[in-house]
Structure 1
Amino acid sequence: MKTELPLAEVYAILEPGPVLLVSTAQDGRANVMPMSWHTMMEFEPPLVGCVLSAANHSFKALEATGECVLNVPSAELLDQLVGCGNSHGDQVDKFARFGLTAVPSAQVAVPRVEECWANLECRVVDRQLVGSYNFFVLEVVQAWRDPAATAPRTLHHRGYGKFMRAGEEIQTGSAMR
Structure 2
Amino acid sequence: MQAFRQPVDLARATRLLNHGPVTLITSAHDGRSNVMAASWAMPLDFVPPKLVVVIDAKTLTRQLVEASGVFGLQLPTRGFARHTLAVGSNAGIEIDKIAALQLETFAAEKIGVPMLEGCVAWFECKVIPDDAQRHDLILAEVVACYADSRVYSDNRWHFGDDHDMRTCHYVAGSTFFETGDTFEVEAAPIGGKV
- Smaller-chain TM-score range? 0.7 to 0.9
Corresponding residue SS for 1:126 = coil
User: What whole-Å deviation, never above 9, does each CA across 1:44-83 have from its counterpart, x for those lacking one?
Assistant: 2111011111121101111111100001111110100011
Range with greater deviation from structure 2 (94-103 or 104-113): 94-103
Q: Aligned equivalents of 1:60 and 1:172: distance in 2?
A: 45
Matched, 1:163 2:176: yes
Matched, 1:89 2:102: no
Corresponding residue SS for 1:129 = helix
Give, in angstroms, the shift of residue 120 of structure 1.
0.3
Give, in angstroms, the shift of residue 160 of structure 1.
3.4
Cα distance change, pair 90–148 in 1 and its aligned pair in 2 (3 A): same
What corresponds to 1:102 in structure 2? 105
Corresponding residue SS for 1:69 = strand
Q: Aligned equivalents of 2:82 and 2:167: distance in 1?
A: 13
Matched, 1:23 2:36: no
RMSD: 1.6
Q: Aligned equivalents of 2:22 and 2:121: distance in 1?
A: 12
What corresponds to 1:9 in structure 2? none
What corresponds to 2:120 in structure 1? 117
Corresponding residue SS for 2:150 = coil
Corresponding residue SS for 2:62 = helix
What corresponds to 2:143 in structure 1? 141
Corresponding residue SS for 2:145 = strand
Matched, 1:58 2:61: yes
User: What whole-Å deviation, never above 9, does each CA across 1:6-32 have from its counterpart, x for those lacking one?
Assistant: xxxxxxxxxx71111100001111110
Corresponding residue SS for 2:56 = coil
Give, in angstroms, the shift of residue 101 of structure 1.
1.1
Structure 2's unaligned 5+ residue stretches are 1-18, 152-157, 160-164, 188-194
**Sequence identity percentage:** 29
Give, in angstroms, the shift of residue 88 of structure 1.
1.7
Give, in angstroms, the shift of residue 173 of structure 1.
5.3
TM-score normalised according to structure 1 size: 0.83
The question of whether the paired residues in 1 share the 8 Å contact of 2:27 and 2:71 is answered with yes
Structure 1's unaligned 5+ residue stretches are 1-15
**Matched AA of 1:67:** V
Give, in angstroms, the shift of residue 172 of structure 1.
4.1
Aligned residues: 158
Matched, 1:73 2:84: no
